[in-house]
Amino acid sequence: MDVVASVEAIHLGKAYEPQLWTVDSVEAVAGNGLVGDRYYFEDGAKPGQALTLVEAEVVEDVGLPPGGTRRQLTVRGVRLNDLVGKRFRVGSVECYGVELCEPCAHLESMTRPGIIKELVHRAGINADILTDGTIAVGDEVVEL
């Protein structure tokens, strides 16, 4: 049986607040981000700031709780690094992988010492949202 790459969790947050919340679905707006999230930009997001994704397998490997990497989408069954420079679809929403989303000192301050080293080159990707739509838990992630 083939493994289907899919969205396992969606986490949103407010600017400068440590607590994230989990939702079953979220509206994605092309060029702006996920409605209700700290990285939603009414006047347009800079390239790579609209969406962040991380692999569930990596989150588990480093022992962080769901949402612990502070990425918006946790996905399973896809190598996200392979999507940098490529178009892909999350459910009906078309996206473009812009760059690796490397771990930062802020993440380390909210988790534990050493997490930066554990997550280098595997902390997920930053992506642009190219089409409007809804992203839901269970949606497939497909390279285009």
| Domain ranges across the chain | 6-143
Q: Which two tokens stand for residue 70?
A: 């502070």
Cα-based distances in Å from 67 to 86, 111, 123, 128: 25, 11, 12, 20
Q: What is the mean pLDDT of the chain?
A: 93
Residue 1 has pLDDT above 60, yes or no: no
Residue 48 has pLDDT above 60, yes or no: yes
Q: Compute the average pLDDT of residues 31-43.
A: 92
Decide: residue 108, CB within 10 A, 0-12 exposed, 13-18 middle, 19+ buried: middle
The better pLDDT of the pair 25, 41 is held by 25
What's the confidence (pLDDT) of residue 28?
Answer: 98
What's the confidence (pLDDT) of residue 59?
Answer: 96
pLDDT in tens, 78-126: 999 999 999 999 999 999 999 999 998 888 888 899 999 999 999 999 9
Architecture of the structural domain at 6-143: Beta Barrel (2.40)
What's the confidence (pLDDT) of residue 66?
Answer: 86
Residue 10 has pLDDT above 60, yes or no: yes
Q: Compute the average pLDDT of residues 34-61.
A: 93
